[in-house]
């Protein structure tokens, strides 16, 4: 029997609509740690569909407040960001991380203080929720390695990154025709925070950008330190050198310079959070981390080795040895 024209068209439209994926409900996302401006920026990008830079596929629906009383940039801001999430976006505030995990499909661990990240990540991993951890991934290399170990044993997807890795200007730099890579310098702000290894606080950003260009394979790190500047030099196993130049001299942009066999190329321009949020959503949907645990561990070992070198008067410190000493042998295989 021939169906009427209108119902057939309606049926076909519904099938195409479903096939396009538009009927899929957005992932329910949870935040841990409301003491950083990132929670507002990320939530606005995800929840406000009217924005031209909106990233679809997930909505922040719940959050755990957190906060660190001994870190000024945490305890002075956490209440304000909490109110803004509630009033501007209707985000529910829960009393515990296990309660958060019951209400969401995936979690962004945003606490500005890296020290509690391991303990905050444990219940998320136990609940089997995909986990993105904002900078710094932890307050020590040992904790970074332990988070990755727990996630691997539980089969839970987990990754961490600075937004600088995904700046279009850095992507363009990596794609430029500089020939064979010989080395790179990455510079930017390097404010210090007394509860963290020196580079973990803001130096993590230029370090992330350096590793985005150089990749894994750093074998040793040495450091020159002054009140205004840190110069941290890494030697890669194939002879390349990578330098993080951290500055505490006022406003300083982030920039990478690449030294190649054909040309020296400078990063042109900056970026924003949108490409990172897009990567996070792809990660939540696929369960595939865009950065290996090995690379993230090595860049944190680079930063912790810089502290050891500082303590030892600038002596070169072995990165693989440091990773092994902190229980990360399995990451070097």
pLDDT tens, residue by residue, 265-313? 999 999 999 999 999 999 999 999 999 999 999 999 999 999 999 999 9
pLDDT more than 90, % of the chain: 88
Mean pLDDT, the chain, rounded, equals: 93
Question: What pLDDT score was predicted for residue 23?
Answer: 56
Assess contact for 132 and 56: CB atoms under 8 A. no
What are the distances in angstroms from CA 186 to CA 183, 223, 231, 264, 273?
10, 14, 10, 13, 19
CB neighbours of residue 25 within 10 Å: 9
Measure the CA–CA gap between 283 and 188, rounded to whole angstroms.
27
Question: What pLDDT score was predicted for residue 26?
Answer: 95
Residue 317, C-beta contacts closer than 8 angstroms, at least 6 positions apart: 220, 221, 222, 305, 306, 308, 309
24, pLDDT greater than 50? yes
pLDDT digits over 304-323, tens only? 999 999 999 999 999 999 99
Measure the CA–CA gap between 302 and 298, rounded to whole angstroms.
6
pLDDT digits over 53-65, tens only? 999 999 999 999 9
Question: What pLDDT score was predicted for residue 233?
Answer: 98
CATH class label, 5-134: alpha beta
Indicate the pTM of the whole model: 0.91
Assess contact for 165 and 188: CB atoms under 8 A. no
pLDDT digits over 230-252, tens only? 999 999 999 999 999 999 988 88
pLDDT digits over 67-81, tens only? 898 998 889 999 999
CATH number of 164-278+285-331: 3.30.360.10
pLDDT digits over 147-174, tens only? 999 999 999 999 999 999 999 999 999 9
Structure tokens at 279: 């990567």
Structure tokens at 315: 């002596």
Lowest mean pLDDT among 5-9, 24-28, 249-253: 5-9
Tell me phi and psi for residue 202, to 5 degrees.
-115, -25
In sequence order, the β-bridge partners of residue 224 are 231
Q: Where are the domains of the chain?
A: 5-134, 164-278+285-331
Residue 159, C-beta contacts closer than 8 angstroms, at least 6 positions apart: 132, 133, 283, 289, 290, 291, 293, 296
Question: What pLDDT score was predicted for residue 3?
Answer: 37
- Do the first three CATH levels of 5-134 and 164-278+285-331 match, i.e. the same topology? no
Tell me phi and psi for residue 106, to 5 degrees.
-155, 160
11, pLDDT greater than 80? no
Q: What is the mean pLDDT of residues 250-258?
A: 92
Q: What is the mean pLDDT of residues 179-183?
A: 98
Q: What is the mean pLDDT of residues 208-227?
A: 98
Question: What pLDDT score was predicted for residue 250?
Answer: 81
140, pLDDT greater than 90? yes
Identify the sign of the CA torsion 61, 65, 67, 73.
positive
Assess contact for 91 and 31: CB atoms under 8 A. yes
């Amino acid at each position: 029997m021939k169906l009427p024209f209108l119902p057939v068209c309606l049926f076909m439209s519904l099938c195409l609509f479903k096939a396009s994926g538009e009927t899929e409900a957005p992932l329910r996302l949870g935040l841990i740690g409301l003491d950083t401006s990132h929670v507002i920026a990320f939530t606005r990008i995800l929840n406000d569909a009217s924005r031209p830079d909106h990233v679809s596929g997930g909505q922040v629906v719940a959050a755990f407040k957190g906060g660190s009383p001994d870190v000024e940039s945490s305890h002075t801001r956490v209440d304000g960001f909490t109110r803004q999430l509630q009033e501007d976006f209707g985000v529910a505030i829960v009393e515990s991380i296990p309660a958060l995990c019951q209400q969401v499909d995936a979690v962004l661990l945003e606490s500005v203080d890296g020290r509690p990240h391991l303990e905050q990540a444990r219940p998320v991993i136990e609940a089997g929720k995909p986990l993105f951890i904002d900078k710094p991934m932890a307050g020590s290399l040992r904790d970074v390695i332990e988070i990755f170990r727990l996630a691997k044993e539980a089969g839970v997807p987990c990754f961490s990154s600075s937004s600088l890795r995904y700046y279009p200007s850095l992507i363009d730099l990596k794609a430029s025709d500089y020939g064979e890579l010989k080395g790179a310098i990455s510079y930017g702000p390097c404010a210090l925070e007394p509860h963290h290894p020196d580079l973990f606080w803001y130096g993590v950003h230029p370090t992330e950008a350096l590793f985005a260009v150089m990749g894994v394979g750093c074998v040793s790190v040495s450091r020159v330190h002054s009140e205004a500047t840190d110069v941290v030099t890494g030697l890669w196993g194939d002879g390349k050198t990578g330098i993080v130049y951290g500055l505490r001299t006022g406003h300083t942009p982030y920039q990478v310079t690449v030294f190649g066999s054909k040309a020296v190329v400078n990063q042109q321009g900056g970026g924003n959070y949108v490409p990172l949020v897009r990567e996070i959503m792809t990660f939540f949907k696929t369960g595939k981390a865009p950065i290996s645990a090995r690379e993230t561990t090595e860049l944190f070992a680079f930063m912790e080795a810089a502290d050891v070198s500082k303590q030892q008067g600038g002596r070169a410190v072995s990165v693989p040895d440091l990773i092994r000493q902190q229980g990360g042998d399995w990451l070097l295989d």
